[in-house]
Every structure is written in C-alpha cells, then in structure tokens.
C-alpha cells in the first residue's frame, strides 16, 4: 500500500470493519467462488490505482478506507457485470451476499456512483453522509449494505421489505455474514461463467411451521419441496467435499461441474434450454418432473 504523504490519514479506526470484509473475501476464495488474484488486496494496491482512487469523488475518509479494503478487480467486476446482465437480468458484479454485488472502488462508473448514491439519497432510506457503500442491489432483490464511518456500524437496506433488516456494530454484522457462509445458509455457486449467492428457501419450512400443508395443492407442495432440494443438493456437494474445515476445493469444483452439466442436460431435454436468463433458478423446476427427481436424488439424505 502506498505511504505517500498526500494520502489522507484515517479519521477513525476501522480495523474491525476492514478485517471483517477481508474474512469474507478469504472464505469466498476458500470456497472456490473467486480466486485470490481476482481480488484487489489492500497490500497489493499500486500507486497507479491510488491515483485512480484520488481522481474519483470519494471524500478523504472514504478514500482512505477504500485503500484498506479488498474488493473485486475491475476486470472480474466488468466481466461479471456483463455475464449477470445477460444471464441473471441483474446489473451487479461479484455477489458477496444474496443478490447483492460488491462495489469495485476502481471501476470507472462506480467511482461516481458510489458517492452520488449518498448525495442524492434513496426514497424511504436513512442514508447518512458518512455511509460507505459495500454492496449494490440485484435486480429488484438483495440488499444495499452500508458502513457508517461515524458509528462504525453496518446497516442493511433491503430492496424488498424485510421485517428485521440487520444493523449493528461492523464486527458483529460481518460475523453473521461469515457464519452464514460457513453454515451454507448463504450458498456461493458458480454455473459456467455466472457466480451468485443463494439463500436457503423458506417456503417449505413456512408451510410446515404454519400448518398449511393441507391448504396446498399437490403441485404446490411438490414445488416447495423441490426448491429446498435444489438448494440442499448443492449444499450437500460442499459438505461431501469437507466444507468448511477440511474442504477439498478441487474435488468440489469437479463435483460442481458434474452437477451443473446434468442440470443443463435435463433442462435441454425438456427444451428449457435458454439458461442465459436465470441460470439454475428454481423456475426450471416447474412442470419438469425429471429435474424435480434430479434435485431430490442429488440432495440424498438432505432431501425433503
């Protein structure tokens, strides 16, 4: 990292926030979701990159903070913006939380957008001048996560209404993120050139918890179970490969590729061969008994 005298000194100690964000990128590297060389690590930032940061609109403390954080490289960010626009109908780069893409502080458009969002504000939001943007929304989904430099807290701004959006000290919120990935409540997944983070479906559990099973049609019940099996099948691949503590990433990548290929083959046989829109979305389970059987079979003892 540059130590040039004109670099602004941090106005506050953001060590907990920076360490927490670093741990998120490290576990995503461990999961085979992104490679280490696709990330701009703070200790690897170059004087040229610092000059680019200085050319942007970030105020001094935010500029200093951006130099202390890892974030996706502009190259992978731009590639995923293009891929996700084509495949997921979503304008985001690398997802680091469900349906929410990480900000790349060196990407030319975001040098402006990252500050304009705070200056303009958002409808029904409580954005503060000290809010530092961590993630973007997805396509009418996900959350914008903001770090408040003044209070050293992180707040979730969900796109859709959420009863209890997460808010708290940065280290505590990022510990929740880390736990969600370690327990696979948030599931990082790669399908060909797309990368996304899924959240465990709640519909099947909700129906059981609320005692609404009798009110479902047979098709509704089957689809709710299939959606959970679709998630659990991929979770099982992680667990079978030793996640999280004894994880064999090469074995995982091979198993992930095999699962993806069989998924694609079944969809193509059913003439659901336009996988460029929603990738492995559960929409393909509808009226596809072979795919429903596949996700149940591949979920093994985790099938419902």
Q: Please write the tens of the pLDDT for every residue from 167-223.
A: 999 999 999 999 999 999 999 999 888 898 999 987 766 566 555 555 566 677 888
Q: How far is residue 168's CA from residue 166's CA, in Å, rounded to a whole number?
A: 7
Domains: count for the chain: 2
Q: Both 58 and 149 in a single domain?
A: yes
Q: Both 30 and 135 in a single domain?
A: yes
Q: Both 172 and 210 in a single domain?
A: no
Q: Is residue 73 part of a domain?
A: yes
Q: Both 154 and 47 in a single domain?
A: yes
Last residue of a domain, one of 113, 146, 180: 180
- Give residue-wise pLDDT tens across range 220-238: 788 889 999 999 999 999 9
Whole-angstrom Cα Rg for the chain: 20
Q: How far is residue 181's CA from residue 197's CA, in Å, rounded to a whole number?
A: 9
**How many beta carbons lie within 10 A of that of residue 42, not counting itself?**
15
Q: Both 138 and 210 in a single domain?
A: no
Nearest CA to 175 out of 10, 21, 59 is that of: 21
Task: Kindly report the pTM of this predicted structure.
Answer: 0.86
**How many beta carbons lie within 10 A of that of residue 109, not counting itself?**
10
Q: How far is residue 19's CA from residue 1's CA, in Å, rounded to a whole number?
A: 16
Q: How far is residue 264's CA from residue 200's CA, in Å, rounded to a whole number?
A: 21
Work out the angle at residue 264's Cα, subtended by the Cα atoms of residues 26 and 81, and round it to the nearest 5 degrees: 45
Per-residue tokens: 221: 């019940």
- Give residue-wise pLDDT tens across range 101-160: 998 988 866 655 555 554 444 434 455 667 888 998 876 678 889 999 999 999 998 887
Domain that holds residue 211: 201-302
């Amino acid at each position: 990292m540059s130590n040039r005298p004109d670099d602004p000194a941090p106005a506050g100690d953001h060590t907990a926030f920076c360490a927490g964000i670093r741990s998120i990128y490290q576990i995503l590297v461990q999961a085979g979701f992104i490679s280490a060389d696709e990330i701009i690590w703070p200790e690897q930032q170059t004087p040229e990159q610092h000059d680019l940061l200085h050319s942007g609109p970030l105020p001094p403390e935010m500029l200093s903070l951006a130099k202390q954080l890892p974030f996706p490289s502009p190259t992978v960010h731009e590639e995923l913006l293009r891929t996700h626009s084509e495949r997921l109908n979503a304008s985001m780069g690398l997802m680091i939380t469900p349906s929410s893409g990480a900000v790349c502080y060196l990407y030319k458009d975001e040098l402006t957008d990252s500050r304009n969002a705070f200056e303009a504000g958002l409808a029904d939001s409580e954005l503060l001048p000290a809010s530092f943007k961590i993630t973007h929304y997805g396509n009418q989904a996900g959350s914008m996560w903001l770090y408040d430099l003044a209070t050293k807290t992180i707040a979730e701004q969900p796109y859709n209404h959420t009863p209890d959006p997460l808010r708290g000290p940065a280290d505590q919120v990022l510990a929740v993120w880390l736990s969600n990935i370690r327990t696979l409540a948030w599931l990082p997944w790669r399908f060909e050139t797309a990368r996304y983070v899924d959240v465990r479906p709640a519909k099947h559990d909700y129906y059981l918890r609320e005692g609404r099973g009798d009110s479902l049609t047979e098709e509704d019940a089957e689809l709710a179970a299939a959606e959970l099996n679709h998630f659990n099948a991929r979770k099982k691949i992680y667990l079978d490969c030793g996640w999280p503590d004894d994880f064999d990433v090469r074995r995982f990548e091979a198993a992930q590729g095999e699962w993806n290929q069989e998924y694609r083959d079944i969809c193509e046989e059913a003439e659901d061969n336009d996988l460029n829109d929603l990738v492995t979305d559960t929409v393909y389970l509808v009226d596809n008994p072979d795919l429903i059987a596949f996700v149940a079979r591949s979920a093994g003892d985790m099938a419902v």
